[in-house]
Amino acid sequence: MLKYQKSEIPMMKRRSLAGNCGVGVFVIALVTVLVAFATPSWLVSDYRITGAKLDRLGLWTHCFRSLPDVNDDYQRRFFVGCRWVYDPFTTGYDEIRGFLIPPFMVATQFFFTLCAIAVILAMIMVLFFFLCAGPDQKFFVKLIRAIGFLNMGACISGAIGVIVFAVFGNKDKWMPEHANNWFGWSFILACIGVVACGIASSLFFTETHVQARKRRQLKESQTRFQIDSETKA
């Protein structure tokens, strides 16, 4: 009776360096995008200007020190403090909503919301990729590819949002004293998050290629092992 020794079949690592780096960069993207999405510092007034009418504003919240009602020719009504842009309780606030949320702001809200949604969906998949899924599962490569596409979508939509805001957010005839207004830290985080989404996308696509190649190599090794076993028998 013939005896033979099993050939060594290469073991597939759960994640390569690209996958581990992709998870790390994605965490940065997740935090920065969601913080930027929720915080009201996309545009801020120069803190050195004591009489500034604008304090700061974000996608969903505006903070004013003393903003006159643009519809009141006699300027008897002023808005002070922070309010949700769709605040239904402040008298006259709904009447200036068209001024507070011009078309470019609606576009920024829309595209950055798509970015935030894509990042949240990717977070669920990344958790599954990091904690549960492994190379032995058939959908593993498809899962990584889906994460890559979600990050790419978040990068593209987020980039459109921040570019639109960068072009129109500090133009004259919108927020008062535009020359004394700056892009705030929320906007900077949004830009960092968009870039991080793009980097994470490329890393996950690299991981997809690596895992697909390892799977092909494993199948070839198994095929050769079966042929050698049949020949020795």
| CA angle, residues 223, 217, 144, in degrees to nearest 5 | 130
Helices (H), 132-184: 140-168
Q: List, for residues 173-220, the tens digit of each pLDDT value.
A: 788 776 778 899 999 999 999 999 999 999 999 999 888 877 666 665
Q: Dihedral, CA atoms, 110, 115, 121, 122, nearest 10 degrees? A: 170
pLDDT at 72 exceeding the cut of 90: no
Q: List, for residues 74-120, the tens digit of each pLDDT value.
A: 666 777 888 898 888 877 778 888 888 999 999 999 999 999 999 99
Residue 132: pLDDT band by 50, 70, 90 thresholds? confident
Q: What is the mean pLDDT of residues 17-45?
A: 94
Token pair of 27 as six digits: 């965490």
